[in-house]
Chain A
Amino acid sequence: MDKKQRRKGGIIHRTMRQSIHHTIETGILLLVACMTWGQTFKASHLQRAYEKLHLATNTQLRNHLSIRTDDRGTIEHIGIPMFSTEMRTLLPSPVYDYLEYALLDHKYHINENALQQLKLRFQNGDWSDLEQVRPSNKCTINNVDDKWYVVTWSRSDKGNISVAIPIDYELLANSSRKEMEQIFISNLQKHHPGAISGNIPPMPELSDINTTLSLEFQLYGHHKKTIDVSLAQWLSYGLSTGSTPLYIYEGRNQNTDKAVLLMENKQEGYAHMISVNIPINNRRNGKVTCNGKAYLYIPISNIARLYEKAPHHQSTPKKYKN
């Protein structure tokens, strides 16, 4: 084998290794889902807490925690209760699940990596004060410039507790972008669109809700994955996560219209974008497949200027080390 072949072999080997590695990771993540005595979890941080605290058997602790499952029995939240059911129902916010889990994590040292939680800023009080919070305490949540949530508990005897949480989708989900992408795709594929309510913008070029979207997802580590979903499935799943759909017509190119569909979630600070090519012919016979690309979790809360003008000059001269 000459040098060139060996190099080529090395590349193939590395690519295969990456691919196998990715497949294994995907398998694991898709089942974040991983089973613990038959128990499934919405995300890996929940499984970590469940296992570390032995919640399958530790009923005493279990009774003191807030644990929520979906209709399939998958655990979608574990935390120390801090917010009333009424507040959760009347004023939905990603802050509740985040803070209740963060407090649990802090108290029981579930996650060894505490760097993420350093983004949280106490304005009044500290973690030990948070442990004193009860769901019955009066609480307000303010959105500051779509960048921060400021949560304040009023306590008549000991003064207020106030904590600022950046609107950062990874932080609020107690998860990583890598994991969130996998969970999104898995959930999207499993999602059965019910009757979609009227919260959909007019989409003249995509008026048939049953249109198939063949979407190439641009994923972590330059991976690409193509999935066919119906437009109804995409819209319905986005709406179920609290996102708002927005439609922008981009223009016509020979036999296709181009359009951009955004799913904006201001509460959690991200948008998903799909860019689709819509064939002009056969649009009315209901058998149209639109190819497109999908980009997940585009951050929207940390942007200063998306359309910054190019400066006229270079920056000031620099001194370089030799």
Chain B
Amino acid sequence: MKKIIVSIILLFVCSTGAMAQITLLKINDGISDVALKQRMEFTISNLLTEFGQATANNRPLQLHHIQMTEQSRASLERLWNSFHFDCDNAENEEHCLTDVNGYEIRNIPVTLHPTGNGYKGELEKELTISLTRDGMITGVHMALSNNVYQSIVNKGIDVTDTRRRLEILNFVEAFRSYYDEKDIASLRQVYSDDALIITGKVIMRRSYQNDQPTLKPEIVYSKKNKVQYLKSLESNFRHNRFIKVSFDSISVVRHPAKPNFYGVTLHQNWKSTNYEDDGYVFLLWEFKDDADEHPVVHVRTWQPDHIGTNTLAKKEIFNINDFFIP
């Protein structure tokens, strides 16, 4: 099918004499009508290719050959007056979502090229394309940011993996709420018996520059096992009447070789009656083969998000490769 689309688009591109890259979209699942699926792939691939050509030549969009409603065409042309954009990838694979009016293809990554100087927002965006049940485009929308729903339903990955990642978000959220509720019993169930807890702390180390003593901040780490960690947490719970933990910027990574293991990195804000801090948390989760068993956390790390006045570099943050999984 891809070859067919390539040849059809090549014909079109050659006939217009444009030199820009061809962009393809393949729908990997979510629709069973093969003919409709091919029609949608063809229409969207044509549209994405036109984005690239128009951006490369800094010209208005030419949409007469694209199967789309007048309203969506006018809306897209208005958007184009403010932004040009082209696809990041020459080949895109996305799920097809069924919605109230027809279908939606989400998560198509694009880079914005603002036509004026007024735009100060993110340049990396994702497109959502809506289609009728006959495969005609009814809307092309710029997703508001990378962290809303469109992140959720896929990036060319299968639905089962998507579902699992949503389950992880659910477990991570429940895990967060156990701290709010000061629920040691539930936390005891989440952490595996062999859990490793690593906590970073900023200290000032004396060093010499040009024979002058200076103090340089650095992080040193301490390790605890499950029993030690929960004991200190219990004490923390006792000394703070209220605790409010918030998670943000959550990222989920599946272990490349151990498919039941997922790494979750997030930014945590901890507020309590006597104390507040911000830092990065890494959690190593294991899904059990028995679907009725809840997943467990084998590793929890915490690092401050700043060392002195500098933000913690991404390469400093613990990741899934830091831990040996037998």
Contact = CB atoms under 8 A, between A and B. Distances in A.
Interface of A: 18, 112-113, 115-116, 118-119, 143, 145-147, 168, 176-178, 198-204, 218, 220-222, 244, 246-251, 260, 262, 264, 266, 271, 273, 275, 295-316, 318-321
Contacts of B320: 310-311
Interface in B55-70: none
Interface of B: 29-30, 32, 95, 97-100, 133, 144-149, 151-155, 157, 159-160, 162-163, 165-167, 169-170, 173-174, 177-178, 180-181, 183, 185-186, 189, 200, 218-223, 241-244, 246-256, 263, 265, 271-273, 294, 313, 315-322
Contacts of A306: 151-152, 155, 162, 165, 169, 250-252
Given A248-B97, A302-B249, 8 more contacts: A146-B144, A146-B145, A204-B32, A220-B186, A298-B166, A299-B250, A302-B246, A308-B252
B273 to A, nearest CB: 8
Contact of B221 (A143, A247, A309, A321): A321
A315 B321 CA distance: 8
Given A118-B271, A316-B315, A250 B160 contact: yes
A270 to B, nearest CB: 9
A218 B99 contact: no
B155 A315 contact: no
A269 to B, nearest CB: 9
Interface centre among B98, B145, B167, B218 (most CB of A within 10 A): B98
Contacts of B294: 218, 222
Contacts of A311: 253, 319-321
22 contacts: A115-B244, A178-B181, A218-B170, A218-B294, A220-B177, A221-B183, A221-B186, A246-B97, A249-B29, A249-B32, A251-B29, A260-B162, A271-B152, A296-B170, A305-B252, A306-B155, A308-B253, A311-B319, A311-B320, A315-B317, A318-B221, A320-B223
A222 B186 contact: yes
A112 B244 CA distance: 13
Contacts of A115: 242-244, 271-273
B220 A310 contact: no
B170 A300 contact: no
Given A308-B251, A315-B316, A321-B222, A116 B163 contact: no
Nearest to A294: B170
B151 A303 contact: yes
Contact of B319 (A146, A203, A315): A315
A301 B145 CA distance: 10
B185 A18 contact: yes
A305 B251 contact: yes
Nearest to A216: B292
Contacts of B252: 305-308
A59 B316 CA distance: 59
Nearest to B250: A303
Nearest to A309: B253
A275 B313 CA distance: 38
A113 B242 contact: yes
A179 B322 CA distance: 37
A299 B173 contact: yes
Contact of A307 (B154, B177, B178, B256): B154
A321 B224 CA distance: 11
Contact of A198 (B100, B145, B165, B251): B100
Given A178-B177, A303-B152, A304-B147, A310 B321 contact: yes
A251 B147 contact: no
Contacts of B157: 307
Contacts of B153: 246, 248, 262
A168 B246 contact: yes
A307 B156 CA distance: 9
A119 B246 contact: yes
Nearest to B265: A308
A303 B153 CA distance: 12
Contacts of A303: 147-148, 151-152, 169, 250-251
Nearest to B183: A221
Given A177-B174, A201-B98, A309-B253, A314 B30 contact: no
Contacts of B322: 314-315
Pick the 3 closest A-B CB pairs, nearest first: A115-B244, A145-B145, A308-B251
Contacts of B315: 313, 315-316
